[in-house]
Amino acid sequence: MTSTTWRVWLRRNLFRNLRDGIITLLTAFIAGWILWKVLRFVLITGRWEIVERNLALFMYGRYPREDLWRITLALCVAAFVTTMLFSMWSRADRAGVKRSPRTMLGEIGRRWWPLIVLGIVLLSFVTTVGPWIAACAAISCLFAGALLGRALSSAPVRIRGSAVAVTMLGIVVLLWFLADGLGWDDWGGLMLSLYLAAAGMVLSFPLGVLLAIGRQSSMPIIRSLSIAAIEITRGVPLVVLIILSSEGLGFFFPQDVLPGKVVRVIVVLTIFTAAYVAEIVRGGLQSVPNGQSEAAAALGLSPTRITAFIVLPQALGNVIPALVGQFISLFKDTTLVSIIGLLDVISVSESIRKQSDFKGQGLVAETLVFAGLLFWVGSSTLSRESRRMERRLGVGER
Amino acid sequence: MTDDRPDAAAADASSTSDVSGSARERGPAQFSDDDNDDGDGSHLPDDPDAVRHRTPSDVFADATLVSGEPIVVVEDMNKYFGTFHALHDINLKVVKGEVVVVIGPSGSGKSTLIRCINRLEEHDSGHITVDGTELTHDVRNIAAIRRETGMVFQSFNLFPHLTVLDNITLAPRQVRKMSRADAETAAMALLEKVRILEQANKYPGQLSGGQQQRVAIARALAMQPKIMLFDEPTSALDPEMINEVLDTMKALAETGMTMIVVTHEMGFAREVADRVVFMADGSIVEVGTPEHFFSNPQESRTRQFLAQIL
Ligand SMILES: Nc1ncnc2c1ncn2[C@@H]1O[C@H](COP(=O)(O)OP(=O)(O)OP(=O)(O)O)[C@@H](O)[C@H]1O
Ligand SMILES: [Mg+2]
């Protein structure tokens, strides 16, 4: 843009008349002031030593230090799998579009910048070589995954399908491997939140879809059971359910048959989220016009196939933003497990302020800003990706 | 498509073109795989004089009206929506290869009638038999009948999340258990016949209304139905697209497909129909050949209606 077009743009959008001008200046002043305060805090006045010294606690709680390589390995596999799946289904890769490294880096930057910022922040706190090695390994896995995914992107559906199946199996093995012999309750920090959120999403999604379909069933028993499950769960605050899972179940079952707290929390988060997913999906099901099922029925498709191939895909496509919103709140709600004594990011930031070196120094802002950054990166990545997916699916319905 | 008229030759002698003729003998049939089609109009009314006005009470005497092997038989059928009596004592017999056009004012029950034939609506009394199978609560009968009947809707009802090709191959693969390759070959052949081969990999939302409706016709034909039901297939189209869909339907009629068509296109009725059924207030008021129907309608309701639309 040349300087005159800039001036025209400014005039038209920000300074159209006196009132607009005043509002613009006022907003700019407030924004500038906040930015100044934040930058000053982050770069000058903030005392980040508390985060630096406790980075490991923030990341993975009390997970045994000699077993950290397991986490590194998990991170590498996750990085590899994610980029493999992404580039396997990427439009550009499938169409065989050649992009220069520069445009590709630009694209990655635009799409993943919150994660990149987080990576830089984390590495800037690091004082040993271990994390650097882990980071290098993970980044190599990112690129290896992208290359493999790209190679597979033109493969027949069957091969791509089996790649996905193998991947899913791999993830299960990986989770088992991470927890193997360590006891679930040693999990902590960001890893605990990610793990709870991932397990909650993966499990609550199918359960929620089933409940939504059950709610519309023509069989009265299934319908009323679904409605009861959904409405009771939605009527109770999550905190109550979490406390109940930890303290209340002892009334019904002897303690020694109950699984550990983490597993119980996963069950609670799954049920709770499933109830909301069910209501979201129900809205989606109702948004699909009747003519769709009629056309499918007229072609001779059975009711199950009509739901599976015609109604459900459209319903889910219509509710992606709401679903992802629900998953984002699940991710953030995992912080509630601090109430039952699990060492999540929030309880880490509470407890490290009581360490003898930092006691009474009021480092609340430092610890919470860091915790907030962790959650913001996760949530914003989820919501950006969901908008991308929505736009991509939108092509089909334009 | 197979020749559905085994008893062709016998009836042929008497069925001269007076009543039937017009549409069937025109030009090389676009859908036809079978050259014999052109000559034998056996499924058409074999006695022109028998095609005459019927009063509502004896409409059902249509054994005399048409001859041939009946494929859709509706007897004393009634349909209610709650307390609203939507269809009154409907009797209709359609023979193989026949094209029946159903006309009538809005709300007269035309859609309801053809939706009962493939059980999108459930009738409350009477009998509906399609290709020898009676529609009952037995889901196997319903499934069998839906496999034999294709339906084309006013609003196309294509599946927006699937490509044109997937729209067409879904049912053959899922219901007829065809392999993907076979289903796609057949789909491409159908797309070529409806003249939109090049759109195979687009999504429905990227096509014009006329193209979408032709895809919908191809989708229904992919199940190799014996009967095609059309519910105002051109009513949602811009005028310039109506003809491309009507031409496709004409070509289909020329292959000997049995068709029941609800439409307001009187040109189509005149040219392609073997019989025209006029409905009003949930009853069949008058049935006849297009010639008799348009030139010499008997019922005052029919005359009134025709005066309004012609
Ligand atoms: N699902 C339904 N519930 C209640 N009444 C219905 C339903 N479907 C149709 N009707 C009523 O049944 C009557 C016949 O409807 P139908 O749709 O068959 O008419 P139509 O002849 O196709 O009219 P149009 O030319 O407007 O399409 C109308 O009075 C309509 O209001
Ligand atoms: Mg109608």
Comparing A88 with A380, which gets the higher pLDDT? A380
Question: Which of the ligands is closest to the CA of residue B106?
Answer: 1
Is A189 contained in some domain? yes
Instruction: In whole angstroms, give the CA distance from residue B100 to residue B102.
Output: 6
List of long-range contacts for B266-269, beta carbons under 8 Å, 24+ apart:
B266/B103, B266/B294, B266/B309, B266/B310, B268/B101, B269/B101, B269/B103, B269/B293, B269/B294
For residue B110, which ligand has an atom nearest its CA? 1
Residue of A nearest to B228 (CA): A298
Predicted-complex ipTM score: 0.80
- Phi and psi at B228, nearest 5°, equal -115, 130
A169 — pLDDT class (breaks 50, 70, 90): confident
Whether A397 is in a domain gets the answer: yes
Between residues A336 and A77, the one the model is more confident about: A336
Question: Mutation test of the interface with chain A: which of B116, B156, B161, B163, choosing the one with the most A Cβ atoms within 10 A?
Answer: B161
User: Are residues A210 and A285 located together in one domain of the fold?
Assistant: yes
Q: How far is the CA of B282 from the centre of ligand 1 (A)?
A: 9
CATH for A216: 1.10.3720.10
Q: Is residue A109 part of a domain?
A: yes
Is A292 in the same domain as A231? yes
Supply the pLDDT for residue A91.
63
CB pairs under 8 A between A and B: 68
Q: Which atom of ligand 1 is nearest to the CA of B264?
A: 25
Q: Which of B88, B102, B111, B119 to mutate to test the pocket of ligand 1 (most atoms within 8 A of CB)?
A: B111
Q: How far apart are CA A144 and CA A21, in angstroms?
A: 52
> pLDDT > 70: what percent of chain A?
92
What is the CB-side half-sphere exposure of residue B227 using CA atoms within 13 A? 28
Strand order in the sheet with B258-262: B149-152, B227-231, B258-262, B99-103, B275-280, B283-288
CA of B106 to the centre of ligand 2 (A): 7
A187 and A172 within one domain:
no
Question: Do both A171 and A197 map to the same domain?
Answer: no
Looking at A164, A181, A198, the residue that finishes a domain is A181
Which residues of B fall within a CB distance of 8 Å from A296?
159, 171
Whether residue A278 is contained in a domain is answered as yes
Under the banding of pLDDT at 50, 70 and 90, the label for residue A245 is: confident
> Cβ separation of B203 and A301 shorter than 8 Å?
no
Give chain B positions within 8 Å (CB) of A292.
157, 159
A220 with A266, same domain? yes
Say yes or no: B161 contacts chain A, CB-CB below 8 A: yes
Note whether residue A57 is domain-resident.
Answer: no
CA B3 to chain centre: 17
Contacts of B131 in chain A (CB under 8 A): none
Q: pLDDT band at residue A304, thresholds of 50, 70 and 90?
A: very high
Q: Is residue A50, in this structure, part of any structural domain at all?
A: no
- Looking at the structure, do residues A73 and A137 belong to the same domain, yes or no? yes
The percentage of chain A sitting over the pLDDT mark of 90, rounded to a whole number, equals 35
- List, as ranges, residues 206-245 from B with C-beta within 8 Å of A: 206, 216, 219-220, 223
Asked if B278 and B307 count as a contact pair (C-beta separation under 8 A), the reply is: no
A373 and A247, same domain (yes or no): yes
- A292 CA to centre of ligand 1 in angstroms: 19
Whether A302 is in a domain gets the answer yes
The protein residue with its alpha carbon nearest to ligand 1, atom 16, reads: B109
Per residue of chain B (310 residues), give pLDDT as tens: 444 444 444 444 344 333 443 444 433 444 544 444 433 434 444 444 444 344 444 444 443 356 788 999 999 999 999 999 999 999 999 999 999 999 999 999 999 999 999 999 999 999 999 999 999 999 999 999 999 999 999 999 999 999 999 999 999 999 999 999 999 999 999 999 999 899 999 999 999 999 999 999 999 999 999 999 999 999 999 999 999 999 999 999 999 999 999 999 999 999 999 999 999 999 999 999 999 889 999 999 999 999 988 7
**What's chain A's average pLDDT?**
86
Neighbouring residues of B52: CB distance < 8 A, sequence distance ≥ 6? B288, B292
Residue of A nearest to B164 (CA): A396
B2 lines ligand 1 (CB under 6 A): no
Query: Does the beta-carbon distance from A295 to B175 stay under 8 Å?
Result: no
Query: What's the pLDDT score for residue B66?
Result: 64
- The domain of A13 spans 3-45
Q: Are residues A8 and A83 in the same domain?
A: no
Quick check: A298 and B146 CB within 8 A? yes
Dist CA B191 CA A68 (whole Å): 59
CB atoms A292 and B143 under 8 Å: no
Assign A147 a pLDDT band (cuts: 50, 70, 90). Answer: confident
State in Å: Cα B293 to ligand 1 middle. Answer: 24
Asked whether residue A58 is assigned to any structural domain, the reply reads: no
Same structural domain, A250 and A355: yes
Are residues A110 and A190 both part of a single domain?
no
Q: Are residues A157 and A195 in the same domain?
A: no
Q: Do A396 and B161 touch (CB under 8 A)?
A: yes
Higher pLDDT, A44 or A34: A34
User: What pLDDT is recorded for position B38?
Assistant: 39
Ligand nearest to the CA of B103: 1
Per-residue model confidence (pLDDT) at position B269: 95
Q: Mean pLDDT throughout A182-193?
A: 78
Tens of pLDDT, residues A247-284: 877 777 777 667 778 888 989 999 999 999 999 999 99
Q: How many CB atoms lie within 10 A of CB A96?
A: 9
pLDDT tens-digit series, residues A108-144: 888 889 999 998 999 888 888 888 888 899 899 988 9
What is the number of the ligand closest to the CA of B113?
1
- Our count of domains for chain A comes to 3
Compute chain A's Rg from CA coordinates.
Answer: 25
Sign for the pseudo-dihedral over CA of A251, A253, A258, A264: negative
Residue type, A79: A
Is B135 close to ligand 1, i.e. is its CB under 6 Å away?
no
pLDDT at B17: 36
Rounded CA separation B41/B23 (Å):
10
Question: What is the number of the ligand 1 atom nearest to the C-alpha of B112?
Answer: 18
Q: How far is the CA of B232 from the centre of ligand 2 (A)?
A: 7
Residue ending a domain, among A162, A181, A200, is A181
Q: Tens digit of pLDDT for each residue in A9-25?
A: 888 877 888 888 888 89
**A92/A141 same-domain check:** yes
